[in-house]
Amino acid sequence: MKLITAIVKPFKLDDVKDALKAVGVAGVTVTEVRGFGRQGGHTETYRGAEYKIDFVPKVELTVVVDDGTVDAVVEAIAGSASTGKIGDGKIWVTSVDRLVRIRTGEEGADAL
Amino acid sequence: MRKRALRLTLGAVAGLGAIALFPTIANAQEPDPVTVLGQQVNLLWVVIGAVLVIFMQAGFALVETGFCRAKHAAHVVSTNFAIFGLGFIGFFFIGFPLAFGGFSTSLIGLDSPVGEPLLGSGNWVFLFQGGWALSTGTITPALLGLFLYMVAFMDTVATIPTGSMAERWKWGSFVIWGLFCGALYYPLFAAWTWGGGWLAKTWDTMNLGAGYTDFAGSGVVHAVGGAAALAGALVLGARIGKFDADGTPKAIPGHHIPMALLGTFILLFGWFGFNAASTFAATDVQFATVATNTAIAGAFGAIIAMLWITHRTGKPDPGMMANGMLAGLVAITAPCAFVAPWAAAVIGCIAGVLVIESVFFVERKLKVDDPVGAISVHGVCGSFGVLAVGIFSNGSYGAAWNGSTSEGVEGIIKGDWGQLGAQALGLAVIWTVIFGLAFGFFKLQDKISKSMGKGGIRSSEEDEIAGLDIPEMGVAAYPEFVSR
C-alpha cells in the first residue's frame, strides 16, 4: 500500500476530486495549508507599510491506495491539478506499513 | 347640497373664530402655540439625532475590530462596547453638569439652564454645575433630550482612543479611561466652548470673530478625541513587531476588511445625526444644508483618498479609502453649517490627502503605532476642520453665534481673519492643555499601576503575543480558527 500526498492549488480541488473518483479512489483527506516552492513570495502594501507574502494558500490531499493503482492515481492528480503556471504543486509517494478501518477493524487491503 | 354648504359655512366660521381668539390666548402669559409646537418638533429632532449618533458606536466597533487582528477581536470589540456605558456613567454623574450646567436653548424649550457657573463668571467661565445625576435642579424633557444628545457626542470622544491603543491595552486601565473621559476629560473643553465658557466668548474678550465656533465638533469631539488617542498611543508604545530594529514600520494587516468598511458606512449614516441635528431645530432648515455638506465632504474625501493612496502606493488600499471618507466627515463637522457646498467638496478633498499623509507621518516619522489611524482621522483632520471654519465660512449663517454681534460666521474668503484667530486659539488650547491632560492621565495611571506591582497600563508581552482575547476577556472571538 502506498500513501500519495499532493499539494495543489485550492481552486483545483474540485477537479482533482472528480479525477480521483474517475479512477476509483474511494476516499481522500484534505487539509488547508500554506507554503512556497521555488516561486518565492511577493511584496504588498498595507496602509503604506510594505509586507512580504511568502506563504501562498494551498490544499494538501492524501490518499492511501493499492500498489497497483499508484501510477494511475498520480497521473489523475497531476492531470487535473495542472494549470501550466507557477505554483501548481507537487506529488509524492511513500509506503504505508499498516492500514486499519476503525469501524470494522479490517486491515490491509480490506481496509482500502 | 344645502346641508353640505351649511356644514362648510359652519366650519369656516368656527375656524375664523378660533383664529380670532388666538390673540387673546397668546397674551404675555401664554406661549404662542406655533412656537411651542416648533419646540416639540425640535426636541424630537434632537432625540432622533441622539439615536443616530448612538448608533455610530456600532460603526466604531466594526471599523476598529476589522482593522485589528483576529486574536484580539473580542477585546477590541468589547472596548468599543463597554465605552458606551462607561463614558455614560461618568457623564451622567459628573460630566454633564460640568459642561452643560449653564446651557440653555429656547429652540427645544430649554429656556433656562439647569444650573450655573461653578468656576469663573461672566465671559470667563471654566466649569458649570447643576443637574447632577440628572436629579438636581429643574429636570425637564428638553433637558433630558439635551443630555441624550450630548452623551452621544461624549461617547464618540471616549471611543476614539480605543482605536490607537488597540491590541495592547489592559482592560482594567481602559475602564478607568472611560469613566474619566465622561466625567472630566470631554467636559472640560466642552464647557469652554459649547457650554458657553471662555473660548466661546472670545468674540467679546478678544474681538475674535464670533468666538470659537464648532458646529458639531471637529474640535470639541474629534480633535479632543484624537489628542487622547495620540497621548495613549505614546504612553503604551508600539505593538510588538510593528517596527523593525531600524525603525521601519511593518504592516500588521487587519483581519476583516469588509467589517471595517461596513463600519465606515454605519458611521456615515450616524453622521447625519451628528451634524444635521446640531441645528437643534427641525424648524431651522439649515439642517438640509448641513446634511448635504456632510455627504459631500464624505464622498469627496473617500474618492480623493482612493486616488491619492493609489498614486502613493500603487493600489487603492481599502482601509485608506475608508479613512478618507471618515477624514472628510470629521473635517466638515465644524464648518458644515457655515460653508457653501463647493467648500464642503474642497474640505473633503483636502482631508482625503491630509489623512493619508498624516498616517505616513505618524508612523514613519513619529514612530507612533496607530492600528486604525485614529490620530490622523480625528486629531489631524479634526484640527483642519476647526481651522476650516475660519477659512471657508461665507457669512450666510450663524447670526449672533455664541451670543455675539456677528451677522453670520465669516472666514478669510470673506476677508475676515478674526474667526481664524478664534479657531486657532481653540486648537492651541486642545493641543496643549487638553492633550496635556490626556497624556498626564495615561502617564499617571501607568505609574500608579506599576508602583502597585500591576505592570502598567500596557498588557504583558505574552498576552499580546497570544492575543488579548483569552487572557483578558476569557473568550476568543473565533474559537474555531487558528490565529497567528
pLDDT in tens, A39-57: 777 899 999 999 998 999 9
DSSP string over B156-181:
HHHHSHHHHTTTSB-HHHHHHHHHHI
CATH of B34-123+131-473, one of 1.25.10.10, 1.10.3430.10, 1.10.1740.10, 1.10.1070.20: 1.10.3430.10
**CATH number for the domain including A42?**
3.30.70.120
Q: Name the pLDDT band for B13 (thresholds 50, 70, 90).
A: low
Strand pairing category for A2-8 and A49-53: unpaired
Distance from CA of B36 to the nearest CA of A (A): 52
The CA distance from B361 to B355, in Å, is: 10
Report pLDDT for A41.
78
Q: Determine the Cα–Cα distance for residues B295 and A6; give it in Å rounded to an integer.
A: 53
Render B123-143 in DSSP notation, one character per residue. TEEEEEE--GGGTSS---HHH
Neighbours of B419 (CB within 10 A): 30
- Nearest chain B residue to A33 by CA: give it: B482
Task: Report d(CA A74, CA A5) in Å as an integer.
Answer: 9
Q: Flag whether pLDDT at B5 surpasses 80.
A: no
How confident is the model over B242-262, as a mean pLDDT? 97
Q: Which band of pLDDT confidence, cut at 50, 70 and 90, is reported for residue B202?
A: very high
- C-alpha torsion angle, residues A18, A21, A22, A25 (rounded to 10): 140
Kindly list the residues from chain A whose CB atom is less than 8 angstroms away from the CB atom of residue B317. Answer: 45-48
Q: What is the pLDDT of residue B14?
A: 55
Task: Report pLDDT digits (tens) over B203-230.
Answer: 999 999 999 999 999 999 999 999 999 9
B194: helix, strand or coil: coil
Distance, CA of B47 to CA of B205 (rounded, Å)? 34
Is the pLDDT confidence value at B247 over 90? yes
pLDDT at residue B26, rounded to an integer: 47
Q: Could B253 and A46 be called an inter-chain contact, meaning their C-beta atoms sit closer than 8 Å? A: yes
What is the mean pLDDT of the segment spanning B339-366?
Answer: 98
Identity at B195, one-letter amino acid code: G
CA-CA distance, B158 to B161, in Å (whole number)?
Answer: 7
Which residues in chain B are closer than 8 Å to A51, comparing Cβ atoms? Answer: 250-251, 253
Which of chain A's residues have a Cβ under 8 Å away from the Cβ of B249? 48-49
pLDDT tens track for A18-29? 999 999 998 999
Number of structural domains (chain A) is 1
What residues in B contact A46, CB-CB < 8 Å?
251-253, 317, 319
**In this predicted structure, what is the pLDDT of residue B10?**
62
| Domain range list for chain B | 34-123+131-473
Cell 481651522 appears where?
Answer: B387
User: In which region does residue B467 sit, left (phi positive, over 0), alpha (psi from -120 to 50) or beta (all else)?
Assistant: left
**pLDDT grade for B6, boundaries at 50, 70 and 90:** low
pLDDT category at B11 given cuts 50, 70, 90 is: low
Q: How far apart are CA B311 and CA B71, in angstroms?
A: 32
- Residue A38: what pLDDT? 84
Using the predicted structure, report yes or no on whether residue B24 has a pLDDT greater than 60.
no
| Residue B3 reports pLDDT greater than 80 | no
Please provide the average confidence, as pLDDT, over all residues in chain B: 95
Q: What type of residue sits at position B333? A: T
Q: Per mean pLDDT, which range of B5-19, B110-124, B179-193, B324-338 is the poorest?
A: B5-19
Minimal CA–CA distance to B339: which of B405, B289, B300? B289
B273/B261 Cα distance (integer angstroms): 20
Please report, for residues A64, B86, B258, B277, B373, the alpha-carbon distance to residue B63 in angstroms, rounded to integers and kept in the order given: 47, 20, 9, 24, 11
pLDDT tens, residue by residue, A57-66: 999 999 999 9
| Pairing between β-strand A56-65 and β-strand A90-95 as defined by DSSP bridges | unpaired
Q: Chain B, 351-370: which have a CB under 8 Å from a chain A CB?
A: 356, 359-360, 363-364
Q: What distance in Å separates the CA atoms of residue A23 and residue B166, rounded to the nearest whole number?
A: 53
State the ipTM, two decimals. 0.84
**Can you give the residue range of the structural domain that contains A62?**
2-111
Q: How many other CB atoms are there within 10 angstroms of residue A54's CB atom?
A: 11
Residue from B444, B374, B464, B412 nearest B209 by CA: B412
- Separation of alpha carbons B117 and B102, rounded Å: 6
Q: Identify from A31, A47, A50, A55 which residue to disrupt to test chain B contact, counting B C-beta atoms within 10 A and taking the largest count.
A: A47
- H helices of chain A, in order, are 13-22, 70-81
Q: What is the pLDDT of residue B91?
A: 98
